[in-house]
Structure 1
Amino acid sequence: MTSASPASSRLIATVDALRTALAQSPDVLSHTLGGTIDEESAAAAEADGVPREFLDFCRVLDGASCGPSVQLFGLEEAEEHQFYCEPVAGSLLPLSPEKLYCVGMVHEAPVFLDRAGGGVLGAPHAGPDWVDAERFDELAPGVTAFFLDRLATYDAYRRLAEVDDELVEYDDWLKLLRRAGLAG
């Protein structure tokens, strides 16, 4: 039997810390963290074309609602948002369901998993006008890295979510990161 990779071990430890902090935080919305998907659901989803990397992530954490402007979808919600992968007339973005899989939203802009390279792509700086962006930025080399390095890292999440100084104490995700010992 092989051991878990360092990234998956770190993901499991991070999610465990977040779940523990959430259980002890009645002031934080309980739907912040999703559950997990089972092997049967994962196999069926993979047969339907859901990327394995996303399914591996969902086996540990089936979505996270980090705040009003940042969300990483669980499997069911991701399946409902694949219309974002469809080409849009006049857009310069390389939209294609064969090439992309929508895994979340940041500032009303979809975040995609590149099916070929595995990177997480998006144009969050463009917000709801994301289709007018000239290109996607690589937000992370993969879904696990996107969660660990951009969402479960206090300063990186704060920058991505654009939480200003006056609102830090009111942001539930930042509270949860602090309580889980992930504030830096």
Structure 2
Amino acid sequence: MTSTELATLLAAARDLLPQNMDWEMMNQVPKGFSGGFGKSLDPSIPDPYQDYLKTANGGIFGRIVLFDAKSAPLSQFYAETPPGAPVPLGQDEWYCIGKVNEDPLFMRRADQSVWGFPDRGVVWSQSPDFEQWSKDLDGFLLEYVFGPGYARITGADDTDPWSQVRRELGRAAGES
């Protein structure tokens, strides 16, 4: 279940974006998936991500993109191991929830931890570096979307529009 802290931050960011044209152009915090017109969430989506989608149907947080309910199931080709890739993946074990810069972001189905490929100057599919960034989705969002981890995994500086949104929300303390 999405934490109260995270739901509050998502709502605050959603309300803040229209105050600045650059923020609104470069970021998006949609309302949650409502299942209108008889639609429901794809059952292949892991439960924690379904919970998130009900709070915010995807999102563009600067250089971090979380797929919406329609795009997520269609983006699982990222979870297939590319030929010659040093990191074995597979849709049975991994679910691609979005991207950081141009690299896919995964949830491990077994324990709902969030993993990604740190930027090492190589294409993600050729990188041997695959790291657990958080033990769960809420932790990832609080640390890397709304917290100081954003600059670490994206390389963004303080001129980045999402960095400015985070600062306005009081979530950039201690960053330079």
Pick closer, same or farther for the CA change 1:62–1:42 going to 2, 3 Å: farther
Instruction: Write the deviation string for residues 22-59 of structure 1: whole angstroms up to 9, x where unpaired.
Output: 13233322552122112579983343x11111010111
Q: Post-superposition shift, 1:163? A: 1.9
Aligned residues: 172
Q: What does residue 34 of structure 1 align with?
A: 30
Name the TM-score, length of structure 2 as normaliser.
Answer: 0.85
Pick closer, same or farther for the CA change 1:172–1:134 going to 2, 3 Å: same
Distance 1:28 1:109 in 2: 22
Q: Post-superposition shift, 1:180? A: 2.1
| Contact residue 35 and residue 41 of structure 2 kept, 8 A | no
Identity of matched residues, %: 27
Q: Which runs of 5+ in 2 are unaligned?
A: none
Distance 2:120 2:143 in 1: 21
**Residue type matched to 1:77 in 2?**
S
Q: Secondary structure at the match of 2:41?
A: helix
Q: What does residue 130 of structure 1 align with?
A: 124
Instruction: Write the deviation string for residues 144-163 of structure 1: whole angstroms up to 9, x where unpaired.
Output: 2111111111x321222112
What RMSD over aligned residues (CA atoms) do the two structures have, in Å? 2.3
Pick closer, same or farther for the CA change 1:61–1:41 going to 2, 3 Å: farther
The equivalent position to 2:6 in structure 1, one of 8, 11, 35, is: 11
Q: Which runs of 5+ in 1 are unaligned?
A: none
Name the TM-score, length of structure 1 as normaliser.
Answer: 0.82
Of 11-20 and 121-130, deviating more is 121-130
Q: Where has structure 1 moved over 3 Å in runs of 4 or more?
A: 39-44
| Contact residue 108 and residue 124 of structure 1 kept, 8 A | no
Instruction: Write the deviation string for residues 86-124 of structure 1: whole angstroms up to 9, x where unpaired.
Output: 122221212111111101111311010101111011113
Higher helix share: 1
Distance 2:120 2:138 in 1: 23
**Residue type matched to 1:25 in 2?**
N
| Contact residue 33 and residue 63 of structure 1 kept, 8 A | yes
